[in-house]
Every structure is written in C-alpha cells, then in structure tokens.
Amino acid sequence: MILLVGYCVILWPFLVWKKRKVMKSDEKRSHRLNYLLKCYLIDPQENTLYLKAKQMGVTDSTAKDYLRTVIIQAQKIHLKQIQ
C-alpha cells in the first residue's frame, strides 16, 4: 500500500501472518515425554523427573503417569543397548 503525504511517500509493507499451529494434546504429550526421557537419561532421579513434570503445569496424576512412562521407556532403551 502506498500512502502519499504531501511530497513524502510512505510504503506500508504487507504483513504476512503465519497460521499459528495449535498443538494437539497427543503431540504435546509426546514432546513432553521426549524431553523428560532425555532428562531422565542424563540424571536418573525420579524426584527430579517428577518436579520437572510438575513444572510443565500438569496435575499430580499426570506427572506420575509421565514418570512411569519415561522409566519404562528408559528401561527398554537400556535393554536394547545391552543386547
């Protein structure tokens, strides 16, 4: 858009708004679990993992579910490395 003001020309660039992708709940859960698994593999302390899950803003039961899921996944990874 060009706007003429006296002898001055002002150019207004077109703004292109990207659609904000709304993350589905299963995608969000997957990202959270991957992050927690990475943290657990670095520092395998259950209490620390629980606190990190709680910092994500989830309920106590969801944090405990994440904890169980991550520990099971870490055990599977460990068993694959041994074989």
Residue 73's Cα: distance from chain center in Å? 18
Q: Domain map of the chain by residue range?
A: 22-82
Spatial contact of 62 and 50, defined as CB atoms under 8 Å apart: no
Distance CA 76, CA 42 (A): 16
What pTM was computed for the model? 0.69
Spatial contact of 36 and 44, defined as CB atoms under 8 Å apart: no
What confidence category does residue 17 fall into, taking pLDDT thresholds of 50, 70 and 90? low
- Render pLDDT for 34-80 as a digit per residue (tens, 0 to 9): 999 999 999 999 999 999 999 999 999 999 999 999 999 999 988 88
What confidence category does residue 24 fall into, taking pLDDT thresholds of 50, 70 and 90? confident
Place of tokens 């944090």: 63
- Residues 2-22 have a mean pLDDT of 53
